[in-house]
Structure 1
Amino acid sequence: MSEKLLTVDKLVVEYPGKGFRAKPFRALNEVSIEIEAGKTLGLVGESGSGKTTLGRALLGLAPVTAGTITFDGKDISHASRKDRRQLSRDLQVVFQDPYTSLNPAMEVGEILAEPITIQGATQKDAKARIKELLDRVGLPQDAANRLPREFSGGQRQRVAIARALALKPKLIVCDEPVSALDLTTQARVLDLFLQIQKDTGVTYLFVSHDLDVVRHISHDVAVMYRGDIVEQGPASVVTVDPSHPYTQRLLLASPVPDPDRQEQRRANRLRLLAQQAEQNEQAGAVA
């Protein structure tokens, strides 16, 4: 049985309300997830569901109001800045937009060397590691001497992935890492993530709004809706035959190449939306 690398237990994240005496906004409501070492948990939901907030809480970028985050056997719910610097060796992130996540004034070699040298590596060791990283993500060696603007979106995301891998982390939070890419490039980058996991055993929390994407890369899937986990289980079940109406709507929102099937999907999704609206109206009347 694989060990749990990450355990999130009843996590609550609240932000101060806007305005005098405004109630706090609860972004996460007692969220609980687990990820086994070497596996991928796909976290899926629409914009505003709270999925990115969960990823930010793991990275120390969102306040933890209640609950616990246990990483590699240690409680990191309220880790200090010093502890976070140490955690950066084992906990990394790949952001959504490769155009803004890389410093445009730095060459790729400098971008990759920065986290390595900060941890105390020599220039010689850093140079060898950069060569290894470029090979790992399928970029030529001369990429080290070029600026980010000289690359395509997919290549820039490969640079971002290489930077995340620089310190050989145990867990990478992937925050919508392919949503800014075209479909062909998406497929190639997803295959790269899979190959890296196969070769290194790294663990992923893969955040996405697209069930088709998480089906391709995830072992397990958790579905978020308005700050709650509404469904979770094996990817082969949740992304193919979901039980929760919200997950069913997400599945029906994914386009298919067959026009007749797409029309039927659209009709079914509208039916589910109408049912949800009716339920919300009834709940409001009861309240």
Structure 2
Amino acid sequence: MLEARNVVVEYAGRGWRSKGFRALHDVSFDIKPHETLGLVGESGSGKTTIGRAILGLVPVSSGSIRFDGQELAGMARRERRRLSDDIQVVFQDPYSSLNPSMTVEDILVEPLVARRAGDRREATERVRTLLDQVGLPQDAVHRLPREFSGGQRQRIAIARALALRPKLIVCDEPVSALDLSTQARVLDLFISIQEETGVAYLFISHDLAVVRHISHRVAVLYRGDIVEYGDALDVTERPEHPYTKRLLMAAPLPDPDRQAARRQERRELLASEAMA
């Protein structure tokens, strides 16, 4: 469905003393229909830049991003707008990604009306279906976002992304602002929606445990390069690259004895890398 080949993104420096910055170095990956590709890395690794490049929010310096055979890199704004039905996004913070002055019904109807996806009656019926999909009560349509919890707000954001029946959703750290129990419920919601609709996800996260829970394949990004790429279980349980091993060891475990042993392994790994 989506193919990225040798993608480079560079930011120009500001002022005569400032140097440019290369955020992505020859990044290549693909996303198949009905699949979740987990993209994991620490802050500043370039993972959000990849999502923004797919969405057309940052220009691609070189390389290719093709969606359903169409080249996205350098595509005109009008053509990108036509693709908005097929590519949607769920942002990290549900507190700021929803208009606080709009009711839930208005939030969900807006993309349908903007894309002329039927009349108001058909849009209202679609809203009811969306609320059922994300597990919210029908009376939510009359309420404002501030009346919901963080997990419920993210469900509203997911419903908005689903409104136009997209083929791909870019999920940019969609659970990092939620507590652990809410994270698990929202991740299970993403999985059930994929099973029901067949939508594909690019799931961006800094948490390897979260990515392992939801992804079919995983790409590990480090300083703008993909350093490990493959089946989710292979990458998260039998990592080969030292950076992936560090990410795995940094993930918390509920067993204190196993957690202590993992900390010791991490210290030994860091010491061996320092000696090398």
Using the TM superposition, give the Cα deviation of residue 17 of structure 1 relative to its aligned residue in structure 2, in angstroms.
1.8
The correspondence for 1:47, drawn from 38, 43, 48, is 43
Equivalent residues in 2 for 1:1-287, closer than 5 Å: 5-120=1-116, 121-279=118-276
Unaligned runs of 5+ in 1: 280-287
Q: Secondary structure at the match of 1:102?
A: coil
Mapped partners of 2:140, 2:32: distance in 1: 34
Mapped partners of 1:277, 1:12: distance in 2: 30
Mapped partners of 2:273, 2:90: distance in 1: 34
Using the TM superposition, give the Cα deviation of residue 263 of structure 1 relative to its aligned residue in structure 2, in angstroms.
1.3
Give TM-score, length-normalised by structure 1.
Answer: 0.94
**How high is the sequence identity, in percent, across the aligned residues?**
65
Using the TM superposition, give the Cα deviation of residue 22 of structure 1 relative to its aligned residue in structure 2, in angstroms.
3.1
Mapped partners of 1:138, 1:224: distance in 2: 33
Total equivalences in the alignment: 275
Mapped partners of 1:181, 1:276: distance in 2: 34
Mapped partners of 1:27, 1:232: distance in 2: 19
Unaligned runs of 5+ in 2: none
Mapped partners of 1:277, 1:58: distance in 2: 36
Give TM-score, length-normalised by structure 2.
Answer: 0.97
Using the TM superposition, give the Cα deviation of residue 265 of structure 1 relative to its aligned residue in structure 2, in angstroms.
1.1
Mapped partners of 1:23, 1:181: distance in 2: 37
Mapped partners of 1:105, 1:81: distance in 2: 28
Mapped partners of 1:110, 1:58: distance in 2: 27
Q: Which amino acid aligns with 1:211?
A: L
Runs of 4+ in structure 1 deviating by more than 2 angstroms, as ranges, are: 270-279
Using the TM superposition, give the Cα deviation of residue 278 of structure 1 relative to its aligned residue in structure 2, in angstroms.
4.2
* Two-structure CA RMSD over aligned residues (Å): 1.0
